[in-house]
């Protein structure tokens, strides 16, 4: 396995009660017009830096944080409790509600550090559920919310149908082992051609540098406790991103969620040629542009 290093950013250590949480910051490029502050939220099977600050030789801007920093955003990500560099000691399975608590602590810290009291929040997969629950609990801290690879009720999800077959194991253990084959399965389960082998290999190296097991809490939640959020209580401007081949949620499930969102400053985008892990797909630059357009959208001057 390659020696993976992260450079060009700043480490931050914050407290959630007695728990230590790791945060990683890459500030906006000097001389660029300020565009806001993004908090990126990772999924069930990887920590934050592999997801959002991945470096792949020959693949420009594999790091979403680098690309968005060049557009004028201050960029942040954090390892949820149980992942990466954050504490993993408590005898719990680190579920989605606990992850939303982490985001509350992280957002409070960012506000104190930078004065950014309203964040642009992007979450992927179970990170989208954490981000949505955080926005439901703390709408005053969220300027805009982007939910990628989100799932609402789970109806019609082939991925969750298969995952439920292992629910008893997830319930019996707080952690589940991962290896390179598991990381590769994230990309092969829906449509293997959506990502290239070099990127998948670099992603696996980065994930396995930090973890050899992952919490089971988000899997338990997604297999047995959906829905976890109430769209009618998510009042902030929202974007729902759905990969063309993503098996985590049916398009009908996502459209039903979208229809219940009360804020009419909302968008639904289907991403062509993308399966589950959008930032690691061949069409990743398309995702960046969709997000940037949403994050920079002017507020409506007339709402009727």
- Does the predicted TM-score (pTM) go above 0.85? yes
pLDDT for position 4: 84
pLDDT digit of tens for each residue in the chain (304 aa)? 556 888 999 999 999 999 999 999 999 999 999 999 999 999 999 999 999 999 999 999 999 999 999 999 999 999 999 999 999 999 999 999 999 999 999 999 999 999 999 999 999 999 999 999 999 999 999 999 999 999 999 999 999 999 999 999 999 999 999 999 999 999 999 999 999 999 999 999 999 999 999 999 999 999 999 999 999 999 999 999 999 999 999 999 999 999 999 999 999 999 999 999 999 999 999 999 999 999 999 988 998 8
pLDDT for position 2: 58
Task: Assess whether the previous peptide bond of 167 is cis (omega < 30° from 0).
Answer: no
So what's the architecture of 10-295 in CATH? Answer: 3-Layer(aba) Sandwich (3.40)
Q: What is the DSSP letter of 82?
A: T
Give residue-wise pLDDT tens across range 183-225: 999 999 999 999 999 999 999 999 999 999 999 999 999 999 9
Give which of 98, 97, 92 is closest to 21, Cα–Cα: 98
The pairing of strands 10-16 and 36-41 is unpaired
Estimate the share of the chain in helix, then strand, then coil, as percent rounded to the nearest 5.
40, 20, 40
The rounded distance, in Å, linking the Cα atoms of 77 and 39 is 6
As a whole number of Å, the CA-based R_g of the chain is: 18
Domain edges within the chain: 10-295
pLDDT for position 121: 99
* Contact partners, residue 186, CB within 8 Å, separation at least 6: 45, 276, 277
């Amino acid at each position: 396995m390659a020696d993976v290093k992260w450079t060009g950013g700043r480490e931050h250590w914050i407290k959630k009660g007695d728990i230590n949480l790791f945060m990683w910051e890459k500030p906006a490029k000097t001389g660029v017009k300020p565009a806001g502050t993004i908090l990126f939220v990772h999924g069930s099977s990887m920590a934050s830096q592999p997801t959002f600050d991945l470096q792949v030789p020959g693949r420009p801007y594999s790091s979403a944080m680098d690309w968005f920093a060049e557009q004028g955003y201050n960029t942040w990500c954090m390892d949820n409790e149980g992942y990466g560099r954050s504490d993993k000691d408590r005898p719990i399975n680190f579920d989605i509600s606990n992850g939303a608590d982490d985001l509350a602590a992280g957002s409070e810290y960012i506000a104190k550090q930078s004065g950014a009291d309203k964040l642009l929040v992007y979450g992927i997969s179970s990170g989208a559920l954490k981000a949505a629950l955080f926005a439901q609990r703390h709408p005053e801290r969220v300027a805009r919310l982007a939910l990628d690879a989100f799932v609402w009720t789970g109806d019609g999800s082939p991925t969750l149908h298969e995952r439920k077959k292992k629910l008893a194991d997830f319930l019996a253990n707080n952690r589940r082992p991962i290896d390179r084959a598991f990381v590769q399965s994230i990309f092969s389960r829906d449509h293997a051609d959506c990502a290239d082998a070099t990127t998948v290999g670099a992603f696996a190296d980065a994930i396995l540098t930090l973890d050899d097991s992952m919490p089971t809490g988000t899997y338990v939640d997604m297999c047995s406790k959906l829905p976890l959020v109430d769209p009618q209580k998510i009042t902030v401007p929202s974007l729902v991103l759905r990969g063309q081949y993503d098996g985590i949620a049916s398009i009908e499930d996502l459209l039903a969620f979208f229809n219940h969102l009360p804020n009419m400053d909302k968008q639904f985008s289907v991403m062509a040629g993308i399966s589950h892990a959008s930032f690691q797909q061949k069409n990743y630059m398309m995702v960046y542009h969709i997000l940037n357009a949403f994050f920079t959208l002017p507020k409506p001057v007339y709402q009727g």
